[in-house]
Each structure stands twice: as structure tokens, then as C-alpha cells.
A and B are shown apart, each in its own frame.
Chain A
């Protein structure tokens, strides 16, 4: 369970990223965080696994006060939280399975860490994770030979191999085409339902968010302006979150002068 209690985050130069966040997310929920770019969605997610520090309030994850963790405690804490990025963040020059095996590295004894030799059980677990996302047949292929959608699924498999309780996803489908996006989102949904892993996802495709998430949190200028089930999201709610900017996004097509 994730609890935000009056959480603030202000950067060193004075900009306020998050203001007075109060949220409770239970285990197994599928939450979509929506809002304009720069509203604070990324910051919110990254506070959960302490990639960013909060400057006020309290943040508890499964009973652990995140801001009180130090050094190797942070690393051990992060083991249980998986993270998916927009740019996949894989080592492109190595094979798929080597990328998935990276998630076991912190648990290896020192001599295995140096030589890079993994145990048979770890290899089997990695292959199982690849099977769960449907790219088992690409296990020994180099990552840079895969398409974007396949790479994101490798990233997903890497996260699954961690055996996390929570998966944080920062714009996971932003670089993918609609068809592959659907496949990846289906994977997320399946993992969420079958393995009861909480999924908290940043997403700016509102329709996709509403289709897959159970719960929607709307962020505007660092504050929560909406928190409820996705079926309660109406046009008025969206206007509030996006500040009416949704229509402004169409470019004006009447040009009186060519810019020289």
C-alpha cells in the first residue's frame, strides 16, 4: 500500500513540483496519472521509489517511511519496485536475456558479479519472464535488432524478473505506435490482474488511460485535482485537469505572412 500524507516537493531553485499530495493506493490497483507535461506526474512517480526526495510530508510504502531510508536500505527497498521508462533504457548492444538478467545482479555473490556468470535458476526465471510477455523466441537476439514494442516488452520482462510488488511506469507507450501500444497495455493489464501487482502509470493518452486503468489521478500544477474511478472522468473533469488546453493544441492554419 502506498500512502502520500501531505507530501510537498520543492526543488532547490524554489520551483514547487508537488503541493500537498494526499493519496492512498492499495495493493493490486491499476492507477493512471494524467495531466499536462510538467504538471508533476513524473515527479510524483519518482518519489515513490525515492529517485526524487520529498521536501515535506510523509510517504509510506508498505509501512516503510521512504524518506528515512539510507544508503543500501534504499537499494534494497527499490528491489521490490519495478520501473518502466519511455525510452526503454536497455543495453542495446547485448542480448535480450542479458538485459533481463541484470535485475538479478544486486543479489549475486561477489564472484558472480565480477564474471557475469548467472545460475541456472536465474536463467530459467529470466526466460519465464520473457515468456510472460510473449517474446521468449527472441531471448538470444540482440536488443537493437528488435522493434520499439518488443524492446518495451523486454523492459517489462526485466521488471517482472525482479518479482516486484509495485510497477511504476513513466510514459511507457509514448514512443510506440497504436497497435504495439495496445499490446503493451494488455501486458500491463494482465500482469496487474494475474499477479496482483500494483501498477502506477504516467500516461498522456487520455483515451488509453480511461480504457485500461481502474482509477485515475489528475495532476495540475503539482496538485491532485481529481482522484476517482475512470468511469467518473467526464469532459468537465478533463478540462479541469488540462486547464482547457486540450482544444488549444490545434494549430492555426491561416497564415497571412510567410516567415522569412
Chain B
């Protein structure tokens, strides 16, 4: 055989593998289809959809722009406050957990245990936390802050750990040659590297927490969620429209700002 023919024979047999995976995915798809019955969407449903759309385009402007304590504006700001404080709490709790989970900082069993703990924290649905915290602090935005704090830990700790495990330790070598103590090496060699990543990740999480905070009202944990649900259950689509618009605008603004800040952190 010539060399060319030998190469042809040795070509990797990827096709079978990809085919198998595709078949499995198709089977899963078909199985999951059985859970759904599109019949559920009846005439009533279409009518409601139309009502919602109409409500969104004719929002209740009085509700939107009033400035009283119950108004949409106040609640939106409160939602932002819940998200902000919650992210802060989550960040403070995640930093030590992240270090405990990093395999290049602590011995393997410790990091494995911490990761297990993190998986538990991450999987418990936010609403469960909400209900639990309401028992601690009573209903209201405080419970919302704590809930968001805990749910943030999942993502924050995971991304913090990634940053820690990607640390460039070569700087530490040059700091040793200058004659620095361990503390100095951490403060001037490690922390500057981690700072910008931590900040960027935390700001991203704040972004997402804005959305989570808005639904916490569902369980009485403060913010815009409660009036939103009341309006929806009461079929008051104009109010729903105004609340949704306020919410979407707020989230978009925060997203814009956070993207700008994060881009600056990366570029420097």
C-alpha cells in the first residue's frame, strides 16, 4: 500500500460516534414531546394572549409614574436594592467558599467536600430559600436579600474558583526573588490578578439578580413581584403592562451600565 492509502485507512472513525449521539438526542426529544399537549392552547388562551399584548401597549401610566410608597417606581428601586445587597452578601460569602473549593489552594478532600456543599446550595430552588428565610425575618424585602445572597453563591463561587485555579503563579517567583513575605505576595501578586475577575463576575451576577429579585415578590419577599402577580391574577392587563415596561427598562439600563463597566475592567 502506498503511504496515502495507509493514511486513509487510519482516518478517525468519528462518524459512528456522532451518529449514536444524534440518535440518542432524537429519542430523548421524542420522549419529552409526550409531556406536552398542544391541545392545551385553546380559544381562551389566544384571547388572553391578545389581552396581554393590548395591555402592554396601553400601560397604566398613572400607576407607572406615581411616586408614592406603593408605586411601581418605588418598588422597582426596592427591587434594585434587594438585588444589590443580595449580590453583596453573596459575594462576601462566596469568597471564602471559593478558596476552600480551589484545588490549588486546599488539599483535595477539602475542595471536594466544599464543591459538594456548593452543589447543594446551588440546586435548592430560590423559592424554597425564600420561604425559609421568611420564617427567619418575616415577609418583606429583607428575606429577599438573603435569598438572593444564597442563590448567588452558586454561580459566584463557581466562577471565583475558576479564576483562582487559573492564577499565574510565576509572579510569585519574582516576588520571592525580591524578598517578599507571604502576605506581601498575596496582597501584591495574587489579589491584583483576582480583583478584576471577581469584580466582573460579581457585576454580571448583579445583572441576573435583578431578574431574580423581581420574582421574589411572589412569595412575599418584597419588590415588584407581588403587585405583578396580583395584577396578573386580577386580569388587570394595563397594570401588568406598566409594571412590565418599568421592569424591562430598569433591567436594560442596568445591563447597559454593567456591560460598560465590565468591558472597562477587561481592557483596563
Contact = CB atoms under 8 A, between A and B. Distances in A.
A103 B178 contact: yes
Contacts of A257: 3
Contacts of A245: none
B16 interface: no
B171 A89 contact: yes
Nearest to B177: A83
A51 B176 contact: yes
Interface stretch (A90-98, A128-136, A176-184, A202-210): A90-98
A142 B179 contact: no
Contacts of A94: 192
B170 A105 contact: no
Contacts of A76: 179
Contacts of B173: 51, 85, 89
Q: State the main secondary structure of chain A at its contact with B.
A: mixed
A163 B19 CA distance: 66
Contacts of A162: 178
B196 interface: yes
Interface in B152-186: 168, 170-171, 173-181, 183-184
Interface residues on B, range: 20 to 34
A102 B188 contact: yes
A106 interface: yes
A98 B3 CA distance: 58
A106 B187 contact: no
B189 A91 contact: yes
A244 interface: no
B174 A260 contact: no
A81 B267 CA distance: 34
The residue in B178, B183, B188 that gathers the most chain A C-beta atoms within 10 A of its C-beta is B178
A78 interface: yes
A230 interface: no
Chain A interface bracket (under 10, 10 to 19, 20 to 34, 35 or more): 35 or more
Nearest to A71: B181
B3 A258 contact: yes
A49 interface: yes
A258 B1 CA distance: 12
Nearest to A95: B268
Interface in A211-260: 257-258, 260
A77 B183 CA distance: 18
Contacts of B175: 102
A83 to B, nearest CB: 4
B207 to A, nearest CB: 22
Contacts of A17: none
A260 B6 contact: yes
Interface string B1-32: 00100110010000000000000000000000
Contacts of B183: 113
B104 interface: no
Contacts of A106: 178-181, 184
B177 A91 contact: no
B193 interface: yes
Interface of B: 3, 6-7, 10, 168, 170-171, 173-181, 183-184, 187-189, 192-193, 195-196, 267-268
Interface of A: 49, 51, 74-79, 81-83, 85, 87, 89-95, 98, 102-103, 105-106, 113-114, 116, 142, 144-145, 155, 158, 162, 168, 257-258, 260
For the complex of A and B, 3 pairs with smallest distance between CB atoms:
A142-B268, A78-B179, A83-B177
14 contacts: A75-B179, A75-B180, A77-B179, A79-B179, A85-B170, A98-B192, A103-B178, A106-B179, A106-B181, A113-B183, A113-B187, A158-B174, A162-B178, A258-B7
